[in-house]
């Protein structure tokens, strides 16, 4: 069984037992979190599509870790002008283990 959920302004297709990286969530490591924003739940030919959400559907997950992603370098450059700006950014994320899908 799989589901499509919304968190952090993005949509994710998840299955039970999957490990997933999402935008940073304000929850403690090891705690359980429940997502009620489920757009679609299904398996094979039996698919429920919400308008916009599926009523009564939810996805539960366990928070494994909070961490930072790899560094992304941002660069501005004007040739022959002696102008160069260099910045780095590391996005924070939450790693989740999907434990259950109720549909």
pLDDT at 99 over 90: yes
Per-residue exposure over 40-64, b if at least 16 CB sit within 10 Å of its own CB, e if not: bbbeeeeebeeeeebeebbbbbebe
Query: What's the rounded Cα separation, in Å, for the pair 1 and 88?
Result: 39
Query: What's the rounded Cα separation, in Å, for the pair 45 and 23?
Result: 31
The two structure tokens encoding residue 84? 């160069």
Sign of CA dihedral 91, 32, 39, 12: positive
Q: How confident is the model at residue 18 (pLDDT cuts 50, 70, 90)?
A: very high
Tens digit of pLDDT for each residue in 36-82? 999 999 988 889 999 999 999 999 999 999 999 999 999 999 999 99
pLDDT at 12 over 90: yes
Tens digit of pLDDT for each residue in 83-98? 999 999 999 999 999 9
């Amino acid at each position: 069984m799989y589901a499509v959920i919304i968190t952090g302004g993005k949509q994710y297709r998840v299955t039970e037992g999957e490990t997933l990286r999402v935008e940073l969530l304000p929850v403690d490591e090891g705690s359980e979190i429940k997502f009620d924003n489920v757009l679609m739940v299904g398996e094979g030919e039996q698919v429920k599509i919400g308008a916009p959400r599926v009523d009564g559907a939810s996805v539960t997950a366990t928070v494994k870790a909070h961490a930072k992603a790899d560094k992304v370098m941002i660069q501005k450059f004007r040739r022959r002008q002696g102008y160069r700006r260099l910045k780095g950014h590391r996005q924070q994320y939450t790693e989740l283990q999907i434990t259950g899908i109720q549909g």
